[in-house]
C-alpha cells in the first residue's frame, strides 16, 4: 500500500516542502529510507519503528520503503521522524490518506512515542502557509512558535497517540504549558549613562544614517555600555524584519518559548576568540553565524584589534551586500546579514592615547596597534569616535539624561526623511549612498565646497574619506531636518573622520 | 682648485669603505698625504702601517670592488654633492669641532656661514605640548631667517623641521646616506628639504645607517648650529648626547622648561639646573643670537604674530590646554551646543590655533607666548 504526507526541510532560513512517500509491500521485511538523507534522518528508521511499536501498534513484517522527495535536496535534522511515522501508519491503514495529505508534520520521536521539540518550526510553519496547508502538527513545545505566521490550525502534541486522536477525530489534548510570558527585562536605556554627550550624539548620527561606527577609548570609559544601548534607539522592527529575524533564531534553535515574533533588535557581542565559521555562519551543517544573528540589530566587536584578522576580513562582503552565502560541500546557504557594525578598541596598547601624560606608547606601537585592522574594513566604517574617560562628578552626578525614547524619536524622523528622499533610488539609508548618488543628494553650497576643499588638503583626505564625510554630513543635516547641508553639518562630520597617526 | 677636483674621486672612494673609520683614517694620514696615494698604495707600502689585517685587506679589496670614478660622476646626476674638508666650501663651523668629519655629502645646500642657525632637538615620543613648542619655536625662528638644524628623527626633530620649512629653511643631518629616508614617516619632510634647505650626512650614499651612526651625527648637528634648543627630554635621553657635544664645542644650550614630575621634561629641567639657558619663547634665542649677529628688526616683529579670533573662539580658547581635551570636558565649561562647539573648534583648527590628535580631542596647537 502506498501513502503520502508532508514535512519540510530547512534551507538557509527558509523551509521547502518535502513529500514523505511510503510504500508497504510484501518481501523481505525491512524499513528502507531514501532521498539524500543526513545520518540523523536515516536514524529515524530505528526511532520510528520502536516508537510505533511502543505506542501499541503492531509493526507488521513487511517491506517498507520511505522516500523523501524532492530527492535531490539534502534533508537534515530530526523533524522528519513524525511525518515518516504518520506516513507509515497511513500506509498500514491506521489513518485515512486524505487526512494525512492535508497536514504538515514536524517533530522528533522518542522511543516511548513521545514527541520532542525541534529547531526551525517558524520557517516550516511559514512554508505550510505559503503552500496552502490548513493544518500543522508540531511538538507541544513548539506550538506557540508555529502560530506566529497566523492563519494556520496548529496542533501541539505530546505523544504519537495524540496525533492519531487528532487526525481521526479532531480530538485535541489540552496542554497546560503555562503562559509563555517573557520575563520582563528592562532594556538598557541611554538615560542610565551620565554625561558622554558627544558620544551619544555620534551614536545618534550613526543610527540615523545606518553608518557603521568605531568607538575608541581608554579601558573603562564606557564603550561597551554605550554600545549595548544602541538597539534601544533604533526604529522598531517592521513585521518583515521581525519575521526574518525570528526565522534566523528559529533555525538556530534560539527561539524558545516565545509567543510573539522577536520585537527587540538583537545585540550580538561575540568574544574576540570567535572562529570564522561562528562569525559568518557555517559548520559542517550550515548554521547562521553571529553576523546573521545580529541582523537588523547591532554587531558589537569589542577589542576589535584582538579579533583574528581573517575573521574581521570576512565582514567585508556582508557589510556591502547585507547577506552572506555559506558554501559547503553539502550545499550552500544564504543568510541575511544586515547588521550595524559597532567596533570598539583602545587607541593604543596602554589605552590612554592621546593623553601623553599617561601614554608612553611610541608612535610606532600606536600605528602598529591601530594597523591591525585592515584598510578595506576601515573603509566601511563611517564614524570614528574617541570616548572620553568618565570623571568623578559625572559618575556620581544626578543630572537628568535624555531617555532612549526621545533619541529614537529624532532617529525615526531622520530615517523617514531618508526613505522619502530615496524612494526612487532603491536604498533606505544615507550609508548606502554610492558615489554617483552622493553628488545628487549631497549638494553643497559655495561655502560648503570651500570648506571641503580646505579639509581635503589640510587632512590629506582620500577620496573614500571625503565621501564618508559627505555621507555623515547628509545624516547630520537630516537630523537637523534640513535638506541643504551647511557648514555646521560639515564641520561636525569632519570631526568624525579617521585620524591617520603621523 | 684643480687639485681638489682630481683628488675628490679618491676621497669619495675612501668614504665608501665603511670598514675604515675616523681612527684608522687618522693613522693612515700619517703615512699617506693624499687619498690618491692611499688608493695606489700597494701591499708592501701598507705593511708598516699599524692597522689590523682586516682593514688593510679592505683597503686593497676596495680598489677592485669599486669603480669609483664612474660612481663619483654619477653622484651629481642624483643631485648629491660631495665636499671634503680640504675644500673652501666645507662649513667653517665644522672645521674646529673635535672629531670634525673629513667630508660631507649633501642634497640641496649647506647652511650659509653668515647666518646664525639653531638646532631643535628632543624626544622621539614627545607630548602634544612638546610638539606645540617645537613647532612654534621652529616657525618663528625660521621666519626670522634663522635656519633650523635637526636630525629628522621621529618626534620633536621632525615636527621642528616640518614647521621650519613652511616659512624658512631647515637642514637635516642624517645617520644614513643622504639618499635614504629614515624614518620613513618623515618622507614628506625628506622630499621637501632639498628645496628648502638641505639634507646632510657624512656617510656615503647607500649607507643604511648603523646604530652607532646616529649618536655620531649628533656632533654635526651641534657643530652646524650656533645654539641648541632641547624641547623635551627624559632623564636618560639620547638627546643629551647632542647636548654633550654642544657643550664640548662651546655652543649655547637652551632648554624649554617643563612641569615638575613630567618625565618628558626631567632632562630639560635638569639642564636648566646645570646652567642651560631657560627659554620661554623664540625671542629669548633671538636676543641671545643678536649679540653676535645682526638680525633684521622686521623679522623680530614677526614673532609677535597674533591671530585674529572671533568672540566665540575666544571663549573656547580660554578653556583649551596644550594637553588634548575631549569635547565632553569643554562642553561642561562653555555654553554652546555640541554642533556649535565643533564648528568653532573646526574654524580654530583651520586658523592653526587648535590641533586634533584624535576624534573629539582638541588641544592648543602651540603655547601662547605673550
What is the pLDDT confidence band of residue A45, given thresholds at 50, 70 and 90?
very high
* Inter-chain CB proximity B126 and A356 less than 8 Å: yes
Whether residues A386 and B361 touch (CB distance < 8 A) is answered with: yes
| Residues B133-144: tens digit of each pLDDT | 999 899 989 988
**A343 and A282 within one domain:** yes
Alpha-carbon radius of gyration of chain B: 24
Residues A377 and A304 in one domain: yes
Are A71 and A145 contained in the same domain?
yes
B127/A491 touch (CB, cutoff 8 Å), yes or no: no
Out of A350, A379, A399, a domain closes at: A399
- Is B336 at the interface with chain A, CB within 8 A? no
A341 min Cα distance to partner chain B (Å): 18
Q: Which domain holds residue B123?
A: 118-303
For strands A213-217 and A383-387, give the pairing. Answer: parallel
Q: Within a domain: residue B88?
A: no
Contacts 24+ apart (CB under 8 A), B347-351: B347/A491, B347/B310, B347/B313, B348/B309, B348/B313, B348/B316, B348/B317, B350/A454, B350/A458, B351/B307, B351/B308, B351/B309
Chain A contact for B290 (CB, 8 A cutoff): no
* A474 assigned to some structural domain: no
Q: Is residue B341 part of a domain?
A: yes
**Position A32 in a domain:** yes
Same domain? B294 vs B317: no
Among the three residues B75, B103, B132, which one is the final residue of a domain in this structure?
A: B75
Q: Is residue A490 part of a domain?
A: no
For A195: left if phi > 0, alpha if psi spans -120 to 50, otherwise beta; the answer is left
CATH number at residue B359: 1.10.10.10
Contact assignment for B360 to A385 by CB distance below 8 Å: yes
Give me chain A's average pLDDT, please.
Answer: 88
Q: Which residues of B touch A361 (CB under 8 A)?
A: 125
What distance in Å separates the CA atoms of residue A78 and residue A11, rounded to the nearest whole number?
Answer: 14
Per-residue pLDDT at B273 exceeds 70 = yes
The residue-averaged pLDDT of B323-345 equals: 88
Shared domain for A143 and A201, answered yes or no, is no
Q: Rounded to an integer, what distance in angstroms lies between the CA atom of residue A10 and that of residue B341?
A: 54
A225-258 residue pLDDT tens:
899 999 999 998 888 888 899 999 988 888 765 6
pLDDT value at A57 more than 60: yes
pLDDT of residue B370: 42
Nearest CA distance, A454 vs chain B (angstrom): 8
Q: Are residues A94 and A241 in the same domain?
A: no
Q: Which residues of B touch A353 (CB under 8 A)?
A: 357-358
| A142 and A277 inside one domain | no
∠ Cα A154 A160 A166 (to 5°): 45
Could you tell me if B154 lies within 8 Å of chain A, comparing CB atoms? yes
Mutation to test the A interface, candidates B238, B326, B330, B335, most A Cβ within 10 Å? B326
Residue A56 belongs to what domain range? 2-169
The string of pLDDT tens digits covering residues A116-167 is 999 889 999 999 999 999 899 999 988 888 888 888 899 999 999 999 988 8
Size of interface A-B (CB pairs under 8 A): 97
Q: Transcribe B139-206 into DSSP letters.
A: HHHHHTT--EEE---TTHHHHHHHHHHHHS-EEEE-SS-TTS-SSGGGHHHHHHGGGSEEEEESSPTT
Is A59 a domain residue? Answer: yes
Please state, in angstroms and as integers, the Cα–Cα distance from residue B327 to each residue in A254, A382, B310, following that order.
42, 20, 19
Entry pTM: 0.73
Asked if B123 and B53 sit in the same domain, the reply is no
For residue B26, the distance in angstroms to the closest alpha carbon of chain A comes to 40
For CA atoms B131, B134, B137, B139, give the dihedral sign: negative
Question: Quick check: is A21 in a domain?
Answer: yes
Same domain, B133 and B245: yes
Write out the three cell numbers for A103: 497536514
Tell whether B185 and B51 lie within a shared domain: no
- Are B156 and B68 part of one and the same domain? no
With CA atoms as reference, the chain A residue closest to B189 would be A502
- The answer to whether residue B9 is domain-embedded is yes
Same domain, B215 and B170: yes
Ranges of beta strands (E only) in A222-354 are: 267-268, 281-282, 287-288, 298-301, 323-328, 331-336, 340-345
**Eight-class DSSP state of A8:** E
- Same structural domain, B245 and B132: yes
Domains in chain A, number: 2
Considering the domain architecture, whether residues B210 and B350 belong to the same structural domain is answered as no
Total of domains in chain B: 3
C-alpha cell at A414: 531622520
How many Å apart are CA B46 and CA A100, to the nearest integer?
A: 110
Q: How far is B213 from chain A (nearest CA, A)?
A: 21
- A498 CB neighbours in chain B (<8 A) are 359
Do residues A239 and A316 share a domain? yes
Residue A47 lies in a domain: yes
Single residue among A169, A203, A227 that ends a domain in this structure: A169
Same domain, B164 and B69: no
Asked if residue A198 and residue A165 are part of one domain, the reply reads: no
Instruction: Please write the tens of the pLDDT for every residue from A272-282.
Output: 999 999 999 88
Residues A269, A134 share a domain = no
B88-135 pLDDT, tens digit each? 889 999 998 988 999 999 999 999 988 899 999 999 888 888 888 999
The answer to the question of residue A469 being in a domain is no
- Is residue B97 one of the residues assigned to a domain? no
Residues of B in contact with A363 (CB under 8 A): 124-125, 154-155, 185
Domain boundary among A354, A382, A399: A399
Which residues partner with A32 through β-bridges? A65
Look-up: residue for cell 607666548? B369
The last residue of a domain, from among B258, B273, B303: B303
What does the block give as the cell for A223? 564603550
- Please identify which residue in the block is written with the cell numbers 550550515: A286
- Do B345 and B250 have their domain in common? no
Are A120 and A199 found together in one domain?
no
Say if B176 falls within a structural domain.
yes
B174 and B140 share one domain: yes
Average pLDDT, integer, range B51-63: 81
B285, B303, B321: which is the final residue of a domain? B303
Task: Look at A199 and B328 and tell me if their CB atoms are within 8 Å.
Answer: yes
Write the pLDDT tens digit of every residue in A302-330: 999 999 989 999 998 898 888 898 887 77
Residues in chain A whose Cβ is within 8 Å of chain B: 195-199, 201-202, 216, 347, 353-357, 360-364, 384-389, 391, 454, 458, 476, 487-489, 491-492, 494-499, 502
CATH code of residue A69: 3.30.230.10
Does residue B140 belong to any structural domain of this protein?
yes
The answer to whether residue B334 neighbours chain A at the CB level (below 8 Å) is no
For residues A101 and A143, membership in a common domain is answered with yes
Best mutation site among B263, B264, B354, B359 for testing chain A: the one with the most A CBs within 10 Å? B359
- In DSSP notation, A40-82 reads HHHTHHHHHHHHHHHTT----S-EEEEEEESTTS-B-SSTTHH
* H helix or E strand, kind and range, residue A228: helix A223-228
Tell me the chain B residues in contact with residue A389 when contact means C-beta distances shorter than 8 Å: 326
If asked whether residues B296 and B350 sit together in one domain, one would say no
Chain B residues closer than 8 Å to A489 by CB: 339
Residue B86 lies in a domain: no
Strands annotated E in chain B: 81-84, 103-108, 118-121, 148-150, 170-173, 197-201, 227-230, 252-255, 277-278, 325-326, 354-358, 361-364
Q: Which pLDDT belongs to residue B301? A: 44
Peptide bond just before B183 cis, omega within 30 deg:
yes
Locus of grid cell 573646526: B346
What length is written for chain B?
370
Read off the CATH number of the domain in which A368 is found.
3.40.50.300
Q: State the average pLDDT for chain B.
A: 86
Residues of B in contact with A360 (CB under 8 A): 125
Please check whether residues A324 and A357 belong to one and the same domain: yes
Amino acid at each position: 500500500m502506498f501513502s503520502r504526507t508532508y514535512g519540510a526541510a530547512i534551507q538557509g532560513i527558509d523551509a521547502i516542502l518535502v513529500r514523505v512517500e511510503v510504500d508497504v509491500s510484501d518481501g523481505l521485511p525491512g524499513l528502507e529510507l531514501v532521498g539524500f538523507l543526513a545520518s540523523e534522518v536515516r536514524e529515524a528508521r530505528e526511532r520510528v519503528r520502536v516508537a510505533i511499536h511502543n505506542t501499541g501498534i503492531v509493526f507488521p513484517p513487511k517491506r517498507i520503503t520511505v522516500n523523501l522527495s524532492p530527492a535531490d535536496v539534502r534533508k537534515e535534522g530530526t523533524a522528519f521522524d513524525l511525518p515518516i511515522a504518520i506516513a507509515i501508519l497511513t500506509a498500514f491503514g491506521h489513518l485515512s490518506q486524505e487526512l494525512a495529505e492535508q497536514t504538515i508534520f514536524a517533530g522528533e520521536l522518542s522511543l516511548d512515542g513521545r514527541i520532542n521539540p525541534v529547531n526551525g518550526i517558524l520557517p516550516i510553519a511559514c512554508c505550510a502557509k505559503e503552500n496552502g496547508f490548513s493544518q500543522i502538527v508540531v511538538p507541544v513545545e513548539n506550538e506557540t512558535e508555529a502560530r506566529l505566521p497566523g492563519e494556520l490550525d496548529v496542533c501541539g502534541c505530546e505523544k504519537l497517540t495524540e496525533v492519531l486522536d487528532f487526525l481521526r477525530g479532531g480530538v485535541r489534548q489540552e496542554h497546560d504549558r503555562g503562559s509563555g510570558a517573557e520575563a520582563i527585562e528592562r532594556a538598557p536605556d541611554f538615560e542610565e549613562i551620565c554625561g558622554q554627550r558627544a558620544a551619544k550624539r555620534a551614536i545618534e548620527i550613526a543610527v540615523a544614517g545606518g553608518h557603521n561606527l568605531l568607538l575608541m577609548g581608554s579601558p573603562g570609559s564606557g564603550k561597551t555600555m554605550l554600545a549595548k544601548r544602541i538597539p534601544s534607539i533604533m526604529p522598531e522592527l517592521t513585521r518583515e524584519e521581525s519575521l526574518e529575524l525570528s526565522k534566523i533564531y528559529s533555525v538556530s534553535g534560539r527561539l524558545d518559548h516565545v509567543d510573539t515574533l522577536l520585537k527587540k533588535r538583537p545585540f550580538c557581542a561575540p568574544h574576540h576568540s570567535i572562529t570564522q565559521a561562528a562569525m559568518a555562519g557555517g559548520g559542517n551543517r550550515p548554521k547562521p553565524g553571529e553576523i546573521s544573528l545580529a541582523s537588523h540589530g547591532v554587531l558589537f566587536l569589542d577589542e576589535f584589534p584582538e579579533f583574528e584578522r581573517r575573521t574581521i576580513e570576512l565582514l567585508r562582503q556582508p557589510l556591502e551586500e547585507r547577506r552572506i552565502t555559506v558554501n559547503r560541500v553539502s550545499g550552500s546557504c544564504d543568510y541575511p546579514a544586515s547588521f550595524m557594525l559597532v567596533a570598539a578598541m583602545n587607541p593604543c596598547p596602554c589605552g590612554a592615547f592621546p593623553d601623553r601624560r599617561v601614554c608612553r606608547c611610541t608612535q610606532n606601537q600606536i600605528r602598529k596597534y591601530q594597523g591591525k585592522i585592515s584598510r578595506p574594513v576601515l573603509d566601511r566604517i563611517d564614524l570614528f569616535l574617541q570616548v572620553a574617560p568618565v570623571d568623578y562628578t559625572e559618575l556620581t552626578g544626578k543630572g537628568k539624561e535624555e531617555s532612549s525614547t526621545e533619541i529614537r524619536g529624532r532617529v525615526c524622523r531622520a530615517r523617514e526623511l531618508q526613505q522619502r528622499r530615496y524612494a526612487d533610488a532603491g536604498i533606505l539609508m544615507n550609508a548606502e549612498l554610492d558615489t554617483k548618488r552622493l553628488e545628487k543628494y549631497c549638494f553643497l553650497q559655495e561655502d560648503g565646497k570651500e570648506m571641503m576643499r580646505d579639509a581635503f588638503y589640510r587632512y590629506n583626505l582620500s577620496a573614500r574619506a571625503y565621501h564618508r564625510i559627505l555621507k555623515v554630513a547628509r545624516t547630520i543635516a537630516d537630523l537637523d531636518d534640513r535638506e541643504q547641508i551647511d557648514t555646521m553639518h560639515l564641520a561636525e562630520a569632519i570631526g568624525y573622520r579617521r585620524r591617520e597617526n603621523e | 682648485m684643480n687639485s681638489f677636483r682630481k683628488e675628490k674621486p679618491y676621497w669619495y672612494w675612501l668614504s665608501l669603505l665603511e670598514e675604515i673609520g675616523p681612527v684608522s683614517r687618522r693613522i693612515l694620514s700619517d703615512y699617506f698625504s693624499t687619498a690618491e696615494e692611499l688608493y695606489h698604495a700597494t701591499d708592501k707600502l701598507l705593511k708598516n702601517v699599524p692597522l689590523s689585517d682586516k682593514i688593510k685587506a679592505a683597503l686593497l679589496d676596495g680598489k677592485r670592488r669599486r669603480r669609483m670614478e664612474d660612481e663619483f660622476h654619477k653622484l651629481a646626476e642624483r643631485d648629491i654633492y660631495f665636499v671634503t674638508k680640504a675644500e673652501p666650501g666645507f662649513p667653517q663651523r665644522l672645521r674646529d669641532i673635535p672629531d670634525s668629519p673629513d667630508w660631507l655629502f649633501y642634497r640641496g645646500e649647506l647652511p650659509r656661514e653668515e647666518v646664525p642657525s639653531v638646532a631643535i632637538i628632543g624626544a622621539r615620543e614627545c607630548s602634544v605640548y612638546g610638539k606645540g613648542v617645537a613647532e612654534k619655536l621652529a616657525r618663528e625662528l625660521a621666519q626670522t631667517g634663522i635656519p633650523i638644524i635637526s636630525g629628522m628623527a621621529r618626534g620633536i626633530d621632525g615636527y621642528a623641521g616640518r614647521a621650519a620649512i613652511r616659512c624658512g629653511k631647515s637642514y637635516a643631518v642624517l645617520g644614513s646616506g643622504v639618499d635614504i629616508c629614515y624614518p620613513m614617516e618623515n618622507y614628506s619632510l625628506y622630499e621637501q628639504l632639498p628645496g628648502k634647505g638641505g639634507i646632510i650626512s657624512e656617510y656615503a650614499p647607500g649607507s643604511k645607517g648603523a646604530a652607532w651612526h646616529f649618536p655620531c651625527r649628533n656632533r654635526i648637528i651641534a657643530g652646524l648650529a650656533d645654539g641648541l634648543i632641547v624641547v623635551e627630554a627624559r632623564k636618560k635621553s639620547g638627546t643629551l648626547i647632542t647636548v654633550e657635544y654642544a657643550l664640548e664645542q662651546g655652543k649655547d644650550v637652551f632648554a624649554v622648561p617643563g612641569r615638575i614630575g613630567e618625565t618628558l621634561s626631567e632632562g630639560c629641567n635638569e639642564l636648566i639646573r646645570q646652567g642651560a639657558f631657560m627659554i620661554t619663547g623664540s625671542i629669548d634665542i633671538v636676543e641671545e643670537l643678536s649679540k653676535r649677529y645682526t638680525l633684521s628688526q622686521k623679522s623680530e616683529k614677526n614673532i609677535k604674530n597674533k591671530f585674529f579670533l572671533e568672540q566665540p573662539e575666544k571663549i573656547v580658547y580660554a578653556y583649551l590646554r596644550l594637553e588634548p581635551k575631549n569635547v565632553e570636558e569643554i562642553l561642561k565649561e562653555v555654553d554652546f551646543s555640541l554642533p556649535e562647539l565643533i564648528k568653532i573648534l573646526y574654524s580654530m583648527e583651520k586658523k592653526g590655533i587648535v590641533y586634533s590628535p584624535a576624534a573629539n580631542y582638541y588641544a592648543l596647537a602651540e603655547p601662547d607666548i605673550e
